[in-house]
């Protein structure tokens, strides 16, 4: 009776995550595939740098489990701990975590889109586009106008003198830090 209840609970969990009817009981294979997928997602979290982990929405329990995984050195202990992380992931918002990982992964379209947006903002600021300035201010209230105006002025000066665009690079780095990409 215990396995049937566990399978039913797993089916309800999967149904909630995939918006399907809970009455359609999932097979063991489907449950195992879902658990394995969550475990792989947890493995991707373990591979992240600590600075990138703060950008991923997760509970304190999952955060502690991921930090604990960094401490483990033996392969079997790591494997068991990844299974534990997969178990903790069942109660997490997996789609939000996938989205955050996609933005952090430089090979994904989401990252490319965000990167191109930063480039458009930089180019708009260098061309004195006030709508770009207003768009950035509306999204990021902590935007430092004085620093940006300084960098824009320096970038234009460097461009007119034929120097390397170090101020434009600094402007891009500031925008990237502002958006935490």
| 4 — pLDDT class (breaks 50, 70, 90) | low
Q: Among 3-12, 14-23, 55-64, 66-75, name the one with the lowest average pLDDT.
A: 14-23
* Interatomic CA distance for residues 61 and 101, integer angstroms: 18
pLDDT of residue 1: 46
Residue 100 pLDDT > 80, yes or no? yes
Between these two residues, 110 and 132, which has the higher pLDDT value?
A: 132
For the chain, which domains are there?
2-104 (1.10.60.30), 109-179 (1.10.60.30)
Residues 18-55: tens digit of each pLDDT = 665 544 677 888 888 888 888 888 888 888 888 788 88
The mean pLDDT value of the chain amounts to 82
Task: Compute CA distances 127 → 14, 55, 166, 170, 173, whole Å.
Answer: 50, 31, 17, 16, 18
- CB 153, CB 169: distance < 8 Å: no
Contact predicate 100/167, CB 8 Å: no
The contacts of residue 107 (CB under 8 Å, 6+ apart) are: none
């Amino acid at each position: 009776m215990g396995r049937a209840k566990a399978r039913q609970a797993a089916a309800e969990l999967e149904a909630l995550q995939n918006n399907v009817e809970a009455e359609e009981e999932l097979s063991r294979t489907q449950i195992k595939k879902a658990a394995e997928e969550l475990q792989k997602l947890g493995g991707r979290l373990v591979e992240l740098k600590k600075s990138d982990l703060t950008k991923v929405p997760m509970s304190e329990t999952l955060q502690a489990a991921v930090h604990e995984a960094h401490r483990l050195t033996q392969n079997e202990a790591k494997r068991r701990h990844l299974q534990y992380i997969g178990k903790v992931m069942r109660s997490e918002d997996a789609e939000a975590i996938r989205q955050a990982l996609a933005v952090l992964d430089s090979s994904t379209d989401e990252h490319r889109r965000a990167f191109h947006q930063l480039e458009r903002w930089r180019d708009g600021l260098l061309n004195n586009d006030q709508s770009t300035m207003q768009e950035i201010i509306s999204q990021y209230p902590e935007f430092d106008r004085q620093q940006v105006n300084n960098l824009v002025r320096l970038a234009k000066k460097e461009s007119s003198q034929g120097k390397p665009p170090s101020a434009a690079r600094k402007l891009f780095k500031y925008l990237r830090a502002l958006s935490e990409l």
